[in-house]
Amino acid sequence: MAEPEQPQIYLITPPEFDLSAFPAQLSAVLESADIACLRLSLATRDEDRILRAADAVREVAHAHDVALVIDTHVVLAQRLGLDGVHLTDGARSVRMARKELGPDAIVGAFCGQSRHDGMNAGEAGADYVSFGPVGASTLGDGAVAPFELFDWWSQMIELPVVAEGSLDADLVRALAPVTDFFGIGEEIWGTDDPAATLRALTEAMG
C-alpha cells in the first residue's frame, strides 16, 4: 500500500444506530468525503442485530465503493461477504483471522498503546495496526497513544498505522505527518451535521 500524501479517513460506525435513519446519514457522509475504509463497530452482541446492521451498512458502503470491515467477528465477516475484520485483541488473533479469511481479506489489529503488540501483529500478517485513544478518554485506564509512538512507527515500520479515539482538530493537525489513517467515528456521529464535522477534521490535516 503506497503511503498517501496525507492521511486517509477510516470511518467507524456508532456503537448503536437506528436502522431506519443511519444508512441515509452514512450515505451523506460517504458522498461528502473520500473514505478509504468503513468499520462496523457495534456495542451489541446480539447476532441478529449485527446481521441486520451489517446488511444495511454493506449496501451503502458498496454503493460508494468503500471497503467494509467488521469488529472482531471473523465468522460473520465470512458469512456476510465483508471485506475483512478489525481485531481488538492486539496480535493474538491475527494469524487465525488471516487463515480463515484468506490472503485477500483486510485484517487489522487494534494494539492500544503497545508498539510491541503492533510489531507482532504486523509479523502475524495484519494489513494495518491502529493505536489509541490518541485523545483524553474516559474509557479504559485513561492511557493515551502518544505522538512519539506514531512518530517512531512512521520512521521505522512500513505497515500502515491508524490513529483513533477522541480525536479533535488539534490532534489531527499534530498527527497528520506521522499517521496513514485517522479512525473517525464518535467524533462526528454525535454532532448535528456529521459530514460538516468530518470536513472540519479533514481540513485540519493541512
pLDDT tens figures, 60-95: 999 999 999 999 999 999 999 999 999 999 999 999
What are 164's strand-pairing partners? 183
Residue 2 reports pLDDT greater than 50 = no
Kindly state whether residue 1 falls inside one of the protein's structural domains. no
Q: What are 182-201's pLDDT values in tens digits?
A: 999 999 999 999 999 999 99
Q: How many domains does the chain contain in total?
A: 1
Q: Report the SS3 class of residue 32.
A: helix
CATH of the domain at 77: 3.20.20.70
Kindly state whether residue 37 falls inside one of the protein's structural domains. yes
Using CA atoms, how far apart are residues 167 and 202, in angstroms rounded to an integer? 11
Kindly state whether residue 3 falls inside one of the protein's structural domains. no
Using CA atoms, how far apart are residues 47 and 6, in angstroms rounded to an integer? 37
Residue 21 reports pLDDT greater than 70 = yes
Q: Which pTM was predicted?
A: 0.95
Kindly state whether residue 75 falls inside one of the protein's structural domains. yes
Q: Report the SS3 class of residue 189.
A: helix
Query: How far, in whole angstroms, is CA 174 from its chain's centroid?
Result: 19
Q: Which domain covers residue 113, as residue numbers?
A: 8-203
Kindly state whether residue 120 falls inside one of the protein's structural domains. yes
Q: What are 98-138's pLDDT values in tens digits?
A: 999 999 999 999 999 999 999 999 999 999 999 999 998 76
